[in-house]
């Protein structure tokens, strides 16, 4: 994916996160917020946005589990694996 496409996907996932937060204020998305990156930060690298997408995807899947979506556990685990993989790439670059 191109950086612009990743930023668009990142924005869509943030909108989904915002929706979940509006229906359940107890959701914290702590791992995502700890990254201190959002889609408006276009100066951030492509790989940082990619990592944020996987971290947020994992936390969204966990949030969906609370709303009784059966496959969300597998989605969450896969997103976490992908986030960890991209984090290793980031660490390699820096």
Concatenating the DSSP letter of every residue in 35-90 gives: H---TT-TTS-HHHHHHHHHHHHHHHHHHHHTTT-TTHHHHHHHHHHHHHHHHHHH
pLDDT of residue 18: 95
Give the pLDDT confidence of 50-91 residue by residue, as tens digits. 999 999 999 998 888 766 555 556 777 788 888 999 999 998
Give the pLDDT confidence of 26-41 residue by residue, as tens digits. 999 999 999 999 999 9
Q: How far apart are CA 38 and CA 53, in angstroms?
A: 10
Q: How far apart are CA 58 and CA 29, in angstroms?
A: 10
Q: How far apart are CA 3 and CA 34, in angstroms?
A: 21
Q: Which domains, ranges and CATH numbers included, belong to the chain?
A: 3-93 (1.20.1270.110)
């Amino acid at each position: 994916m191109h950086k612009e496409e990743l930023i668009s996907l990142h924005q869509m996932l943030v909108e989904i996160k915002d929706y979940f937060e509006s229906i359940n204020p107890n959701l914290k998305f702590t791992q995502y917020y700890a990254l201190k990156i959002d889609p408006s930060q276009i100066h951030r690298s492509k790989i940082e946005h990619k990592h944020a997408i996987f971290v947020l995807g994992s936390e969204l899947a966990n949030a969906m589990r609370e709303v009784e979506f059966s496959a969300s556990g597998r989605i969450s685990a896969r997103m976490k694996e992908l986030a960890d993989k991209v984090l290793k790439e980031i660490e390699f670059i820096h």
